[in-house]
């Protein structure tokens, strides 16, 4: 069985999205700065096409994606990302945890299955789909925190973007358990971010 | 003229002290886990004597201390640390920013001067004392944030301790300016923490 890896980017002041996240600016005001690393440098919400991660950031993403056999995402994040457009490119099943039923969506090599039976059922489906590969929890913050609190996350892959957002959605607000031990297994530095990988011991 | 370096340790969820900080437990509930790196491993508030930083952590501290010509600290932090006991060992002047007047305190090689004229005056005194060396702002969070907001911090030396505190005092709560650009200049990893050094561009 693979690992359950929680994978997310946070500002120095702890936000995974800036204030006023909305479909046309899914990461909120200033939140695009969180993900400069993901696109090889600065980008804006108005941009027609984006660059790609380069160097260390590219290696980091490729390592995570190639190890992933399934992804888990919350409905809000799915919707704010507009379902990752016409070519999501995950290449493996994505399970969307939601309270609202929705038919399965197939886009290219990616299947989005909407799970309304809670986080445990969603994880079970993701594990079954992933087989020996990893299940990646990509957020949003609420879903990631629920899985951390449930004690089922094996690794936290936390990218720290060197920006302050001053408001928005905090990753760890309302975290239930503070007894978790994080053991650092890797630190990767790029010009745009620092990627911290921790084994999670509960 | 030396640099102004803001130097502090933060949990993964952004706290520099846990809930209920008080003289007998200055870092609050669970907050001692923030500073395992500072003492070479786990310690508790009840411990009679502490260990010392080792390896990378020791090098990091020595680099900061040897470059420092003066320190700045908030009154609350000074009091919670009980003035660092009988042998503070800073070896250079420490300026305590406070609203309450207090006579200068001399303990061994360390002088504590209490400054009641605001953060600008305190910084001026610290710069004058430091000469060509650095001024280190060691917190608390409120003082550090005020200096960041004033645009006078040249470098942020931020230690991330891999713990969750779930409550307490947040470093960046109420930060005023979010347009600061942080340029990473060093990352140091120890078993207990990750030390991130950023140049601050305002």
B162 vs A177: CB contact, 8 Å cut-off? no
A196 vs B160: CB contact, 8 Å cut-off? yes
Task: Report residue B88 as tokens.
Answer: 């503070």
Residue range B1-50, pLDDT digits in tens: 899 999 999 999 999 999 998 888 989 999 999 999 999 999 999 998 88
pTM: 0.94
Query: What CA–CA distances, in Å, run from A177 to A145, A174, A202, B86, B124?
Result: 10, 9, 9, 37, 43
Q: How many CB pairs under 8 A join A and B?
A: 75
Best of A6, A8, A10, A14 to substitute, by most chain B Cβ atoms within 10 angstroms, is A14
A162 vs B178: CB contact, 8 Å cut-off? no
Q: Which residue has 């870092």 as its token pair? A: B27
Categorize the per-residue pLDDT at B88 as very low, low, confident or very high, splitting at 50, 70 and 90: very high
A162 vs B184: CB contact, 8 Å cut-off? yes
What is the average per-residue pLDDT within B82-102? 94
Mean pLDDT of chain A, nearest integer: 95
Choose the closest CB to B184 out of A178, A182, A194.
Answer: A194
| Neighboring chain A residues of B170 at a CB cutoff of 8 Å | 13-14
Categorize the per-residue pLDDT at A183 as very low, low, confident or very high, splitting at 50, 70 and 90: very high
A163 vs B182: CB contact, 8 Å cut-off? yes
> Can you give the residue ranges of every domain in chain B?
4-201
Nearest CA to B31 out of B16, B12, B49 is that of: B16
pLDDT for B23 equals 85
Determine whether domain B4-201 maps to CATH 3.40.50.300.
no
Residue range A167-177, pLDDT digits in tens: 999 999 999 99
> DSSP secondary structure string, A113-130?
EEE-S-HHHHHHHHHHHH
B175 vs A13: CB contact, 8 Å cut-off? yes
- Partnered with residue A10 across adjacent β-strands are A160
Nearest CA to B71 out of B126, B152, B3, B6 is that of: B126
Categorize the per-residue pLDDT at A23 as very low, low, confident or very high, splitting at 50, 70 and 90: confident
* Chain B residues with CB within 8 Å of chain A CB: 12-14, 30, 158, 160, 162-166, 170-172, 175-178, 180-184, 187, 189, 191, 194, 196, 198
Residue range B117-151, pLDDT digits in tens: 999 999 999 999 999 999 999 999 999 999 999 99
Determine whether domain A4-18+27-42+50-191 maps to CATH 1.10.3720.10.
no
Nearest CA to A55 out of A37, A33, A35 is that of: A37
Choose the closest CB to A184 out of B14, B162, B175.
Answer: B162
Separation of alpha carbons B67 and B92, rounded Å: 11
pLDDT for B50 equals 85
Classify B94 as helix, strand or coil: strand
Q: What kind and span of H or E run contains B194?
A: strand B194-201
What is the average per-residue pLDDT within B91-120? 96
pLDDT for A50 equals 85
| Neighboring chain A residues of B165 at a CB cutoff of 8 Å | 178
Classify A118 as helix, strand or coil: coil
pLDDT for A49 equals 84
Any residues with CB less than 8 A from the CB of B141 and at least 6 apart, and which? Answer: B8, B16, B17, B169, B170, B171, B172, B173
Separation of alpha carbons A50 and A5, rounded Å: 26
Choose the closest CB to B187 out of A176, A194, A198.
Answer: A194
Query: What CA–CA distances, in Å, run from A100 to A7, A22, A70, B151?
Result: 24, 19, 21, 47
Query: What CA–CA distances, in Å, run from A187 to A56, A172, A195, B140?
Result: 11, 20, 6, 27
Beta carbons within 10 angstroms of residue B154's beta carbon: 17
Residue range A44-78, pLDDT digits in tens: 999 988 899 999 999 999 999 999 999 999 999 99
Task: Report residue A79 as tokens.
Answer: 């919707």
B187 vs A178: CB contact, 8 Å cut-off? no
pLDDT for A112 equals 97
Report yes or no: B48 and B57 within 8 Å, Cβ to Cβ.
Answer: no
- Partnered with residue B22 across adjacent β-strands are B25
* Chain A residues with CB within 8 Å of chain B CB: 12-14, 30, 158, 160, 162-166, 170-172, 175-178, 180-184, 187, 189, 191, 194, 196, 198
Nearest CA distance, B200 vs chain A (angstrom): 10
Nearest CA distance, A172 vs chain B (angstrom): 6
Percentage of chain B modeled with pLDDT above 90: 91
What is the average per-residue pLDDT within A109-130? 97
Best of A28, A37, A181, A184 to substitute, by most chain B Cβ atoms within 10 angstroms, is A184
Categorize the per-residue pLDDT at A81 as very low, low, confident or very high, splitting at 50, 70 and 90: confident
Report yes or no: B194 and A187 within 8 Å, Cβ to Cβ.
Answer: yes
Choose the closest CB to B14 out of A13, A158, A191.
Answer: A13
Separation of alpha carbons A97 and B19, rounded Å: 33
């Amino acid at each position: 069985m693979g690992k359950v890896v929680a994978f997310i980017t946070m500002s120095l002041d702890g936000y995974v999205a800036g204030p006023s996240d909305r479909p046309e600016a899914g990461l909120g005001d200033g939140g695009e700065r969180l993900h400069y690393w993901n696109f090889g440098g600065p980008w804006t919400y108005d941009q027609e096409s984006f660059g790609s991660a380069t160097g260390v950031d590219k290696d980091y993403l490729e390592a995570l994606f190639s190890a992933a056999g399934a992804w888990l995402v919350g409905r809000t994040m799915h919707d704010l990302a507009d379902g990752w457009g016409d070519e999501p490119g995950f290449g493996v099943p994505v399970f969307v945890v939601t309270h609202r039923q929705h038919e399965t969506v197939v886009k290219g090599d990616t299947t989005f299955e909407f799970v309304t039976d809670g986080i445990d059922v969603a994880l079970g489906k993701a594990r079954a789909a992933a087989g020996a590969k990893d299940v990646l929890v990509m957020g949003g913050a609420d879903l990631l925190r629920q899985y951390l609190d449930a004690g089922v996350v094996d690794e936290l892959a936390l990218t720290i973007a060197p920006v302050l957002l001053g408001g928005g959605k905090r990753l760890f607000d309302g975290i239930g358990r503070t007894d978790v031990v994080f053991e650092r297994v890797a630190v990767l530095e790029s010009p745009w971010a620092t990627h911290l990988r921790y084994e999670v011991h509960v």
